[in-house]
A = this chain, B = another copy of it.
Amino acid sequence: MTRLVLCAGTTRTAEIDGISAAGADPELMIHTPSADSEILTYGRTVRSPVVPVSPTGCPTPAVVTRAVVERLGLETTVVDAGVAEPTGAPTVTVGANAGDDIREPDPVPSAPGAFAAARQFGRALPDDELFVAETVPGGTTTALGVLTALGEVDVLGPAGDAAEAGVVSSSLPENPLGLKREVVAESLAASGLSPGDAAGEPTVALRRAGDPALAVVSGLAAGALETDTAVTLAGGTQLVAAAACLRHGGYDRRLSLATTSFVAEDPSIDLDRAADGLELSVTVTDPGFTDDHPAMAAYNAGEAKEGVGMGGALALAERASVPMADVRSGVRDVYDRLLAEADREVPAL
């Protein structure tokens, strides 16, 4: 059996102006992982007061993943990887707390413990195959932080350096790479680390320059690999960073990454290089979005790109021979339901 596990967490790094598009408003973005978890589980929001849409109206990729989940009857599980607002989705606890801004000296003290608990959970799950996904606004910046701490990229090198430019994507059409470099440089400085100082020590990188969701993704995948469960990292930049954590942690088993065509076509990430360097077998799926629907047009314009396991879900749909036209029709259904629910009134008690 295949299970999609969503690791939902937060980092205050997302509050830095201009860093993320995961939510219409920076003040509402903190609800995004909780809302994504509900949309994945129920197909609509339940407790979250907001439906995550970008400033231009692009809905969360949870809409796409949910559409596939409904078509395939896929099993899903949400892990609380540091949500900061209540969610109505059932969540598994692994001791992760919301992450602080990585420019603080110890932004994710719960990372080592959450990694260990997630690893035990990953070992114990009964499935043959896990797809591991994330929702964490600001996560491409913390991913860059982790990759830098591990020595996979050098943000202190010359701007535009191929070794850095090819690594992190963005939920924004214009990737604020310069800003991310600055934030990561400050992060490492605050922890007294130089690039590469955490090589071979993924939990140090996760704790000092990462976020709790990335720690949980990495721990879960580690445990699953130890028990011969097939692992697909379902996502883009952040899942590449998780792969780096696994390789640096000595996990050398076969590892797959499934992402969207929007990430694969993003010039700011070189998937082939990541695949070679980290020995990942990469699957890229194009949902064939058309411009006749606002949700799909926004993706075609470069927004969102990936998240909440979207690329993994699309790969599973393709493997099950579900036509992409059916997936697109499901996306329309889930989107319409979400907008209808956004108007629903929940009376106070």
Which residues from chain A sit less than 8 Å from chain B, CB to CB? 42-44, 46-47, 73, 77-79, 86, 88-93, 116, 119-121, 123-126, 346, 349
Contacts of A79 in B (CB 8 A): 90
Q: In the bound complex, do residue B44 and residue A126 qualify as a contact, i.e. CB atoms below 8 Å apart?
A: yes
Kindly identify which residue among B42, B86, B89 contacts A126, using a CB–CB cutoff of 8 Å: B42
Q: In the bound complex, do residue B46 and residue A125 qualify as a contact, i.e. CB atoms below 8 Å apart?
A: yes
Contacts of A90 in B (CB 8 A): 77-79, 89-92
Minimum Cβ distance to chain B for residue A118 (Å):
11
Q: In the bound complex, do residue A92 and residue B92 qualify as a contact, i.e. CB atoms below 8 Å apart?
A: no
Q: In the bound complex, do residue B349 and residue A120 qualify as a contact, i.e. CB atoms below 8 Å apart?
A: yes
Contacts of A46 in B (CB 8 A): 121, 124-126
How many copies of the chain does the oligomer comprise?
2
Q: In the bound complex, do residue A123 and residue B43 qualify as a contact, i.e. CB atoms below 8 Å apart?
A: no
Minimum Cβ distance to chain B for residue A87 (Å):
8
**CA–CA, A78 and B93, complex, Å:** 13
**CA–CA, A89 and B78, complex, Å:** 10
Minimum Cβ distance to chain B for residue A32 (Å):
18
Minimum Cβ distance to chain B for residue A283 (Å):
26
Minimum Cβ distance to chain B for residue A260 (Å):
26
Kindly identify which residue among B77, B116, B349 contacts A119, using a CB–CB cutoff of 8 Å: B349
Contacts of A43 in B (CB 8 A): 126
Q: In the bound complex, do residue A88 and residue B121 qualify as a contact, i.e. CB atoms below 8 Å apart?
A: yes
From known contacts A73-B73, A349-B116, A349-B119, infer whether A124 and B92 are also in contact, taking CB-CB under 8 Å.
no
Contacts of A93 in B (CB 8 A): 86, 91
